[in-house]
A and B are shown apart, each in its own frame.
Chain A
Amino acid sequence: MPTIYIDNKPYEVKAGKNLLEASLSLGFDLPYFCWHPAMGSVGACRQCAIKIFKDEKDTNGKIVMSCMESVKDGLRMSITDSTAQAFRAQIIEWLMTNHPHDCPVCDEGGSCHLQDMTVMTGHDYRRFQFKKRTHINQYLGPLIHHEMNRCIQCYRCVRFYRDYAGGDDLNVFGAHHHVYFGREKDGVLQSPFSGNLAEVCPTGVFTDKTLKKHYTRKWDLTAAPSVCHHCSLGCNIIAGERYGKVRCVVNRYNSSVNGYFLCDKGRYGYEFVNSVNRITEPLIRTLPVEAVDEATLMNHLKDLVTLYPLIGIGSPRASVESNFALMQLVGKENFYQGVSGDTAYLEGRMTDLLQQGTVHSVSLKEIESADAVLVLGEDIWHTAPVMALAVRQSVMKTAAAQATQQNSLAAWHDAAIKELVQEQKGFLANITILSSPLDSISTIAMRNNPDNIARLGFAIAHLLNAGIPAVTSLTEKEMHAAKHIADALLHAQRPVVITGNSCCNEALVKAAFNIVQSLSTPQRKAGISFVFPECNSMGAALMRASSFEAAAERVRTDNNCTAIVLENDLYRHVPAAKADAFLSQCKNLVVMDGLHNRTTEKAHVLIPAATFAEADGTLVNNEGRAQHFYQVFMPVNTHIKESWRWLGEMKTMQAKASNGLQQHPDEWLAKLEITLPQFASIAKVMPPRHFRINGQAIPREPHRYSGRTAMYANLGVSEPKPLQDDDSPLTYTMEGYAGIPPSSMIPYFWAPGWNSGQAVNKYQHEIGAALREENSGICLFASKTGALQFFKDSPEAFVPRPGKHLLLPQYQLFGSGEWSMYSEAISELVPEAAIILSKKDAADLGAVNGTLIIIEKNDFQYRLPLVIHDELCSGIVLASAGFHGMPALPWGSWVKLNV
């Protein structure tokens, strides 16, 4: 490790870094704007100036930009040099000549990088006598607010939006001191990562528009570390609350999962917590609403859980604790997964393959550093957006690594590397049903139907491993592609194959598994990633319960059951007729959920369940990584409780005593480990609830939290006792441990002098790497060596059937998903539900764009307008999936279409 001298003190630093990164890693406060740990340096803002010296005798030195200078052994630099300090102060003063005087009404205020840096350099008085430049703002859609006056021209926004995230509708216009960052004309930002602009922008040009509607400063938020519930990736988030409402969601850095960025669904999909559609009171159908208090409810439930046989329907969106609590209450053999048989089978299959341990399930971080990626069938842009972002980074980084092999350019040298790379790309083969924005960076982009994609996968596997039978009758184009892909994967060191269950096709999973197993050698670290449909699909699948169909069969034969449905709208998972039949055949139906839906309408007893913000729990993401989310706030309405707490109380009634029963998440997890060995070591995901640092708990509120004695003074002038959190080491006060808490329990990023989210620098042991003593979640799959088994049953080539079409789901980032729709901003962006057909099929039906098409299967009928897509294979029909209010369609089956 090279040694550098900062202000004449020697420090050991990591080679290959620049001086800015090295200084920040060492804990120095050095101001910067244009540099971003995920995006590298361009040396545009001139803010991070330091002085470097030729040798120890050199007293003059020269000013350089620390972000543009590599670490060299024996290098001498000064941060505190008075000329360098004056230079930095002057840069800020110049930037401030045009920065408006609107911090009081700026949403960035209090978490503003520009404020922090201005204070850091010491600039405090405006000497400039002349006028300020002004700009007209643009409408950028419902997610991002634009206030162009505040711009300091650091170029971070366009570097993130265009270079990092691949968007093309935000750009820089104009010249000299008139440069303008915006769109060509007003309009909604198209990138699904646009929300990150609010965090990337060092000042308030781009701010969170949903936060603006119920604005609260960062210092006033009661915040807790949480995990995003909108897809299976389990991105880490921080949710903030004030006055009983969730106000905003920001990124929580986790080096193995989401790094610095979130997708817009994760960032803006929180408002369902504040929805008027929340279930707030327990309800017993036979009693009037006001007659049901907690005692009545518990008495009623006591009869239901002790006098009748119990069955439990779990949920892929409820936490592991809640699912397990239900399993404990009803008994293992009476516990069913709340998803259809087909989904349960496919998810079980994917889980089995990962559990075998012969293939490595990759994290998002590993996808980012992959050097060849193959996507089979899954439309990750819509089903796992942050994974798509990671794939994009893999393509860009691989290209950069190839280009810099010949010279000594360091990886952080962003602009220089872009010049060198030009249009060169790393290897990505994106083989999907419909085109995706990833195609523009793909080496191979092919459209096909799932069976043929799987056949292509099998052909690739055959080329990699002769033991797998060859696929016959491939077209020449497919054969050529298979060879190209196999060749690229073979030459890669860290190839990754991605697929999932959105094509409802098992052969795809088998093909991906074959490829990765063939590629895995001691020298080559090949990885696989399966995308799951919901946030805890993997956790639910790991419980190995039967599917919904088995539960339906059970109530058909035994009509005296009490069924407990846990946080699950069955109508989204199974056809309405089946769900109706099941719900009507249950003698007693107890439903617990956060929001009203079609299943809760049928409940005989309805119990209000806490959403992610009001609950503690654990989720297992698509990789098999268990992550804990903490309660953000305790609802004032004491009826709203975590499902596992309700179920625990029911269990106590059933067992007649609470001795030895679980009451807290850590106890549930400990019990889970013992009961189901596949969850071994999951309890390490959170420290015991009595965990304290120096005897102190971790405060959810920053030390500047305001208004304690006035917030609820209108209700009663005497302040109530602070809320007690018995379930976790976090507290509901601003008092407690003031240092850096363990990485999985960081409620907000803040460091002295660093109020913005950039304070994350101080939490990392090295810039851009893991957090200090990072607990990035518990991976439930250990790699094992064993006899490699390959699948040899490649599917038959897809043949369209006359008069029938294969129905497949088409997911949309905005629209699919049960709860993100309750965010007003997201609901504005949802495209219209539609079915998609190829030109030929549409012509055969005599339909044009917009014609209403009826999907028919047996008695089932559903009508949607048509959109014609040229690239879709004939014989297939795609329909919008998971939209609000839409029933579960018979995915993966052959349906009849009528005009």
Chain B
Amino acid sequence: MGLVFLHLFRKKETIQYPEEKIKLHPRWRGRIVLTKDPDGGERCVACYLCAAACPVDCIALQATEDENGRRYPEFFRINFSRCIFCGYCEEACPTYAIQLTPDFEMGEYNRQNLVFEKEDLLINSQGKYPGYNFYKVAGMDAGVKEKGKGINEEPAVDIKSLLP
């Protein structure tokens, strides 16, 4: 009984949700978003690794390319009615494109509304990992930088030269 009274005067753990919002960690695994790189381009390069990593197979996409050979998803679909928010997709993503956010308020009356397309997922932000642009380090020329102009790259080889 004494313990009960002791606890009565402690600070309350219960939050008056929804009037009062919970403060979540930035790395909390909630609603999935697709982010953009520092130059405003889509970060997702449609590599299919998130789809492959997904244990419930709730991610489907189709790759396509722009005129510069830069790859991006033609569509990107997450079926949140299947998603278990495990975060494997984020872990698998080589470009920091797909990220889980501290938002869990996704309740819907109609299950079909839980199917999110690219326009629902794409946000105009770099999310948790600012500063990274995959195409600056990937070697290839996809309209972001020329061959040999990327980070940690030698200038393109002159194949006519025999100099050592």
- A: residues with CB less than 8 A from B are 100-105, 109-110, 130-137, 147, 149, 173-176, 178, 180, 212-217, 219-220, 243, 704-711, 713-714, 716-718
CB of B38 within 8 Å of the partner chain: no
Interface string of B69-103 (1 = CB under 8 A from A): 00100000111011000000000001100000000
CB of B107 within 8 Å of the partner chain: no
Q: Are B82 and A219 in contact (CB under 8 A)?
A: no
Q: Are B154 and A707 in contact (CB under 8 A)?
A: no
Contact of A135 with B157 at beta-carbon distance under 8 Å, contacts A103-B94, A717-B112 already known = yes
Q: Are A135 and B56 in contact (CB under 8 A)?
A: no
* Chain B nearest Cβ from A187, distance in angstroms: 16
Distance, CA A424 to CA B82, complexed state (A): 66
* Chain B nearest Cβ from A213, distance in angstroms: 8
| Segment from B23-31, B60-68, B123-131 that makes contact with A | B60-68
Partner of B79, one of A131, A213, A219, A717: A717
Q: Are B157 and A133 in contact (CB under 8 A)?
A: yes
Q: Are A706 and B54 in contact (CB under 8 A)?
A: yes
Distance, CA A717 to CA B160, complexed state (A): 58
Q: Are A136 and B156 in contact (CB under 8 A)?
A: yes
Q: Are B79 and A101 in contact (CB under 8 A)?
A: no
Q: Are A100 and B94 in contact (CB under 8 A)?
A: no
Contact of A134 with B79 at beta-carbon distance under 8 Å, contacts A176-B164, A706-B60, A710-B59 already known = no
Q: Are B157 and A100 in contact (CB under 8 A)?
A: no
**22 CB < 8 A contacts A-B:** A101-B139, A104-B47, A104-B95, A131-B154, A134-B157, A137-B147, A174-B160, A175-B162, A180-B159, A213-B65, A214-B64, A215-B46, A215-B64, A216-B62, A220-B52, A708-B57, A709-B79, A710-B58, A710-B78, A710-B79, A713-B77, A714-B117
Q: Are A136 and B139 in contact (CB under 8 A)?
A: no
Distance, CA A705 to CA B152, complexed state (A): 35
Partner of A131, one of B61, B153, B161, B164: B153
CB of B22 within 8 Å of the partner chain: no
* Residue numbers in B under 8 Å from A216 (CB-CB): 48, 62-63
Q: Are A709 and B57 in contact (CB under 8 A)?
A: yes
Q: Are B153 and A706 in contact (CB under 8 A)?
A: no
Q: Which residue of A lies closest to B111 (CB)?
A: A717
Q: Are A101 and B137 in contact (CB under 8 A)?
A: yes
* Chain A nearest Cβ from B149, distance in angstroms: 9
Partner of B63, one of A135, A215, A709: A215
* Residue numbers in A under 8 Å from B142 (CB-CB): 105
* Residue numbers in B under 8 Å from A135 (CB-CB): 147, 156-157, 159
* Chain B nearest Cβ from A546, distance in angstroms: 49
Q: Are A220 and B48 in contact (CB under 8 A)?
A: yes
Q: Which residue of A lies closest to B138 (CB)?
A: A102
Main DSSP-derived SS at the A contact region: loop
* Residue numbers in B under 8 Å from A110 (CB-CB): 48, 52
- B: residues with CB less than 8 A from A are 45-49, 51-52, 54, 56-65, 71, 77-79, 81-82, 94-95, 111-112, 114-115, 117, 134, 137-142, 147-148, 150, 152-162, 164
Q: Are A105 and B71 in contact (CB under 8 A)?
A: yes
Partner of B52, one of A105, A175, A219: A219
* Chain B nearest Cβ from A710, distance in angstroms: 4
* 9 A-B pairs with least C-beta separation: A100-B139, A707-B60, A104-B47, A710-B60, A706-B51, A102-B138, A708-B57, A710-B79, A180-B159
Q: Are A704 and B52 in contact (CB under 8 A)?
A: yes
Contact of A132 with B153 at beta-carbon distance under 8 Å, contacts A100-B138, A104-B47, A105-B71 already known = yes
* Residue numbers in B under 8 Å from A711 (CB-CB): 60, 77
Distance, CA A180 to CA B160, complexed state (A): 10
* Residue numbers in A under 8 Å from B155 (CB-CB): 134
Q: Are A717 and B162 in contact (CB under 8 A)?
A: no
Q: Which residue of A lies closest to B46 (CB)?
A: A215
Distance, CA A130 to CA B154, complexed state (A): 9
Distance, CA A102 to CA B147, complexed state (A): 13
Distance, CA A243 to CA B60, complexed state (A): 11
* Chain B nearest Cβ from A108, distance in angstroms: 12
* Residue numbers in A under 8 Å from B152 (CB-CB): 130-132
Distance, CA A704 to CA B57, complexed state (A): 10
Q: Are A717 and B57 in contact (CB under 8 A)?
A: no
Distance, CA A320 to CA B60, complexed state (A): 38
* Residue numbers in A under 8 Å from B61 (CB-CB): 707
Q: Are B162 and A716 in contact (CB under 8 A)?
A: no
Q: Which residue of A lies closest to B162 (CB)?
A: A175
Distance, CA A147 to CA B56, complexed state (A): 34
Q: Are B115 and A714 in contact (CB under 8 A)?
A: yes
* Residue numbers in B under 8 Å from A708 (CB-CB): 57
Partner of B147, one of A134, A212, A213, A220: A134
Partner of B140, one of A109, A130, A149, A212: A149
* Residue numbers in A under 8 Å from B114 (CB-CB): 717
Distance, CA A219 to CA B81, complexed state (A): 24
* Residue numbers in B under 8 Å from A709 (CB-CB): 56-58, 79, 82
* Residue numbers in A under 8 Å from B153 (CB-CB): 131-132, 134
Q: Which residue of B lies closest to A245 (CB)?
A: B62
Distance, CA A102 to CA B158, complexed state (A): 22
Q: Which residue of A lies closest to B75 (CB)?
A: A714
Q: Which residue of B lies closest to A174 (CB)?
A: B159
* Residue numbers in B under 8 Å from A173 (CB-CB): 159-160
Distance, CA A717 to CA B58, complexed state (A): 11
Contact of A104 with B134 at beta-carbon distance under 8 Å, contacts A220-B48, A706-B59, A708-B57 already known = yes
Q: Which residue of A lies closest to B137 (CB)?
A: A101
Q: Are A105 and B45 in contact (CB under 8 A)?
A: yes
* Residue numbers in B under 8 Å from A133 (CB-CB): 154, 157
Q: Known contacts A100-B138, A130-B152; can you find 7 more A-B pairs with CB under 8 A?
A: A104-B138, A214-B64, A215-B46, A215-B71, A706-B59, A710-B77, A717-B111
* Chain A nearest Cβ from B93, distance in angstroms: 9
Q: Are A710 and B57 in contact (CB under 8 A)?
A: yes
* Residue numbers in B under 8 Å from A220 (CB-CB): 48, 51-52
* Residue numbers in A under 8 Å from B150 (CB-CB): 134
Q: Which residue of B lies closest to A133 (CB)?
A: B154
* Residue numbers in B under 8 Å from A174 (CB-CB): 157, 159-162
Q: Which residue of B lies closest to A109 (CB)?
A: B47
Q: Are A707 and B156 in contact (CB under 8 A)?
A: no
* Chain A nearest Cβ from B52, distance in angstroms: 5
Distance, CA A716 to CA B114, complexed state (A): 11
* Residue numbers in A under 8 Å from B137 (CB-CB): 101
Q: Are B154 and A713 in contact (CB under 8 A)?
A: no
Contact of A243 with B164 at beta-carbon distance under 8 Å, contacts A105-B140, A180-B157, A713-B77 already known = no
Q: Are B156 and A706 in contact (CB under 8 A)?
A: no
* Chain B nearest Cβ from A589, distance in angstroms: 40
* Chain B nearest Cβ from A762, distance in angstroms: 22
Among A104, A109, A130, residue most surrounded by chain B Cβ atoms (within 10 Å): A104
Distance, CA A135 to CA B46, complexed state (A): 24
Partner of B157, one of A178, A214, A717: A178
Q: Are B159 and A104 in contact (CB under 8 A)?
A: no
* Residue numbers in A under 8 Å from B59 (CB-CB): 706-707, 710
* Residue numbers in A under 8 Å from B49 (CB-CB): 104
Q: Are B154 and A243 in contact (CB under 8 A)?
A: no
Distance, CA A101 to CA B95, complexed state (A): 11
Distance, CA A429 to CA B45, complexed state (A): 53
Partner of B139, one of A102, A176, A178, A714: A102
* Chain A nearest Cβ from B90, distance in angstroms: 14
Q: Which residue of A lies closest to B112 (CB)?
A: A717
Distance, CA A213 to CA B64, complexed state (A): 7
Contact of A100 with B140 at beta-carbon distance under 8 Å, contacts A174-B159, A706-B59, A714-B117 already known = yes
* Chain B nearest Cβ from A4, distance in angstroms: 39
* Residue numbers in B under 8 Å from A243 (CB-CB): 62
* Chain B nearest Cβ from A68, distance in angstroms: 28
* Residue numbers in A under 8 Å from B64 (CB-CB): 214-215
* Chain A nearest Cβ from B147, distance in angstroms: 5
Q: Which residue of A lies closest to B157 (CB)?
A: A178
Distance, CA A180 to CA B157, complexed state (A): 9
Q: Which residue of A lies closest to B93 (CB)?
A: A104
Distance, CA A110 to CA B46, complexed state (A): 13
Partner of B115, one of A105, A109, A713: A713
